[in-house]
Chains A and B, each alone.
Chain A
Amino acid sequence: MSKIKVNDESQEVTFPLTVTGLIKLNNVLQPDMVSVQLNGEFLERQDFETTELKEGDEIDFLYFMGGGC
């Protein structure tokens, strides 16, 4: 098991693991509506599937926010 930080909390994971895999692993309710930051850098959605995580990575998920009146 390896350690990464997800939303500022330590999490043990098994590599290889992509960002898409991590989103599934964390049971994110609406994965299509999540934005991702990896080690402080914004990650484009098209890169979720191909970005491999590594030991010590810090990843943040945020839900898209929008609406209308």
Chain B
Amino acid sequence: MIKIPQHIIDGIIAQAKAELPNEACGLLTGLGDTVQKQYPLTNVDHSPEHFSFDPREQFQVLKSARAEGQKIIANYHSHPATPARPSEEDKRLAFDPNVSYLIVSLAAEQPVVKAFSLVDGDLIPNEILVV
């Protein structure tokens, strides 16, 4: 389970909409399983079908998180026109079993946000508790 404040979920959705038609992405930091801060990152692919983080931005987030006594506990990206489920590419490029993977889908009228965890090489559903 990952606990996420409503305002951060709203922030992820707002970023996803703002970056249409491209995929949006970012990192979430916090303590334990509770998210405390959202860091929107640049999708260096600038694509509606792919995303990649800028590693330098990732390290900047790491530095900021440490300065605040937090850790990177999740990442997120958007699916502008497909459901909130991991694609084959998402699964192939998931390497970190210590963080949650969030996907926000804008395919339907109402955005959908789901979380997943990397277990034995597969991304399996992980409960989101809105706090």
| A-B contact number at CB 8 A | 67
CA distance A60 to B55 in the complex (A): 12
Number of A interface residues, CB 8 Å?
17
Interface size class of B (residues with CB under 8 A): 20 to 34
Q: Tell me if B59 and A35 are in contact (CB < 8 A).
A: yes
CA distance A65 to B80 in the complex (A): 18
Q: Which residues on B sit within 8 Å (CB–CB) of A16? A: none
Q: Tell me if B59 and A66 are in contact (CB < 8 A).
A: no
CA distance A14 to B130 in the complex (A): 46
| A1 lies within 8 A of chain B by Cβ | no
Query: Which residues does A use to contact B, with CB under 8 Å?
Result: 8, 29-30, 33, 35, 37, 40, 42, 60, 62-69
